[in-house]
């Protein structure tokens, strides 16, 4: 069966890379691991040896018979046919996966912001994406991840480690300490995403003028002064802590 490009099928042939991904998950036998896109089972095989319960969630129905044949004799293996973007996860789990690159952003945002967040995520993603997530020059992507957890790059994987080889290198991104503790309530979380989206809307504009499309100028000027944000600051220069304070104050209306 030929790999399907539209499903982002780049199978991980490198054994050292598979071992590095599993090791980064700090797996214990009582863990439940959600593997998004088991594909032909290359990483699944490695995950199963840990003794943890592995839920393998695959969208491509044509891969299911192969996965059943390979792993149905394992007591700690559950195969689920489904879409990672609509799947409702269990209450306590870790995500460890070589995810389909075409939906990297959507997977990160779906699981980090869902009702049952994973304890940890270890995901193989495009190198540029991993670097953007951990960058101190902020973006909507980096802030949306850092708001919920602590990301770091733990391993680099070159494009020759896959079949077929993708056009770019990859990296293993580990996100730890996942919670919504940075938000005082749901409104704060909603306002945070509203202002980062608007703050980065026009790249050449100052943050203040971007946000003026949502809030009165006087409110913003007072808050900028209070939080020591320059009126000439650009969105990418503002660290997470300030975005959190700004969104909290804009939520509660305290000026
Ligand atoms: N884990 C395998 C490996 O490392 O060799 C395959 C990884 S491949 C990059 C991505 C896998 O995700 C493919 O098996 C693909 O069919 C599956 N996939 C694509 N879109 C998906 C979705 N929305 N939900 C679940 N799985 C998906």
Q: Do 170 and 245 fall into the same domain?
A: no
Is there a single domain that holds both residue 162 and residue 195?
no
Domain count, the chain: 2
| pLDDT digit string, tens, across residues 29-43 | 999 999 999 999 999
- Cβ–ligand 1 distance for 12 under 6 Å, the answer yes
Instruction: Please list the ranges in the chain whose pLDDT falls under 70.
Output: 253-255
CA 110, CA 84: separation in Å to the nearest integer?
9
Q: ω before 22 within 30° of 0 (cis)?
A: no
Structural domain contains residue 75: yes
**CA 76–ligand 1 middle distance (angstroms):** 20
Residue of the nearest CA to atom 1 in ligand 1?
38
State which of 135, 153, 176 marks the end of a domain.
Answer: 176
147 shares its domain with 82: yes
Note whether 101 and 170 are same-domain residues. yes
CB 192 within 8 A of CB 243: yes
- Residue 1 pLDDT: 81
User: Does 190 lie in the same domain as 131?
Assistant: no
Residue 255 has a pLDDT of 44
Residue 110 maps to a domain: yes
Euclidean distance between CA atoms 196 and 103, whole angstroms: 21
- Do 88 and 202 fall into the same domain? no
Q: Which residue of 35, 45, 59 sits with most ligand 1 atoms within 8 Å of its CB, as the best mutation to test the pocket?
A: 59
pLDDT value, residue 203: 87
Residue in 1, 37, 171 to alter for ligand 1 test, most ligand atoms within 8 A of Cβ = 37
Q: Do residues 136 and 242 share a domain?
A: no
Residue among 209, 208, 202, 199 nearest 227 (CA): 208
Closest by CA to 41, choosing from 16, 68, 21, is 68
Residues 69, 157 within the same domain? yes
**Cβ–Cβ < 8 Å for 36, 58:** no
**CA of 57, closest atom in ligand 1:** 25
> Which atom, in ligand 1's list, is nearest to the CA of 38?
1
Residues β-bridged to residue 151: 175
Last residue of a domain, one of 152, 176, 200: 176
Q: At what angle do helices 217-226 and 240-252 cross, to 10 degrees?
A: 130
- 154 shares a domain with 106: yes
Is ligand 1 within 6 A of the CB of residue 36? yes
Q: Encoding tokens for residue 147?
A: 């708001």
> 172 CB under 6 A from ligand 1?
no
Domain range enclosing 88: 5-176
For residues 244 and 238, give the distance between their C-alpha atoms in angstroms, rounded to a whole number.
10
Residues 103 and 130 in one domain: yes
User: Computed from CA positions of residues 192, 110, 153, 119, in that sequence, does the dihedral angle turn out positive or negative?
Assistant: positive
Q: Determine, yes or no, domain membership for 181.
A: no
Is 159 part of a structural domain of the chain? yes
The finding on whether 25 has its CB within 6 A of some atom of ligand 1 is no
CA distance 53 to 32: 5
pLDDT at residue 252, as a whole number:
79
Same domain, 46 and 88: yes
Taking the C-alpha atoms of residue 101 and residue 236, their distance in angstroms, rounded to an integer, is 24
Instruction: State in Å: Cα 128 to ligand 1 middle.
Output: 19
Of residues 32, 30, 33, the one with CA closest to residue 21: 33
CATH (domain of 20) = 3.40.50.150
Is residue 155 located within the same domain as residue 193? Answer: no
pTM score: 0.96
Domain assignment present for 196? yes
Residue from 7, 71, 88 whose mutation best tests the ligand 1 pocket (most atoms within 8 A of CB): 7
At residue 97, the 3 state secondary structure works out as strand
Give distance in angstroms: CA of 236 to centre of ligand 1. Answer: 32
Q: Is residue 233 part of a domain?
A: yes
Residue 228's CATH number: 1.10.8.100
């Amino acid at each position: 069966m030929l790999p399907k490009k539209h499903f982002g099928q780049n199978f991980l042939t490198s054994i050292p890379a598979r071992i590095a991904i599993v090791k980064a998950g700090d797996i214990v036998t009582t863990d439940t691991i959600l593997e998004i896109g088991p594909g032909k089972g290359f990483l699944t095989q490695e995950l199963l040896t840990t003794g943890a319960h592995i839920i393998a969630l695959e969208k491509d129905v044509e891969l299911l018979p192969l996965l059943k044949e390979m792993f149905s004799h394992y007591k700690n293996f559950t195969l689920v046919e489904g879409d990672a973007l609509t799947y409702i996860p269990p209450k306590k789990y870790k995500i460890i996966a070589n995810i389909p690159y075409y939906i990297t952003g959507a997977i990160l945002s779906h699981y980090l912001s869902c009702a049952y967040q994973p304890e940890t995520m270890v995901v193989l993603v495009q190198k540029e994406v991993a670097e953007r997530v951990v960058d101190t020059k902020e973006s909507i992507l980096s802030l949306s991840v850092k708001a919920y957890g602590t990301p770091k790059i733990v391993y680099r994987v070159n494009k020759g480690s896959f079949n077929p080889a993708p056009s770019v290198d990859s990296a293993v991104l580990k996100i730890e300490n996942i919670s919504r503790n940075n938000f005082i309530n749901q409104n704060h979380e909603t306002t945070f995403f509203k202002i980062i989206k608007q703050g980065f809307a026009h790249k050449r504009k100052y943050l203040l003028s971007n946000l003026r499309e949502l809030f009165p100028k006087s409110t913003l000027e007072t808050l900028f002064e209070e939080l020591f944000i320059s009126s000439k600051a650009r969105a990418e220069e503002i660290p997470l802590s300030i975005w959190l304070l700004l969104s909290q104050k804009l939520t509660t209306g305290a000026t």
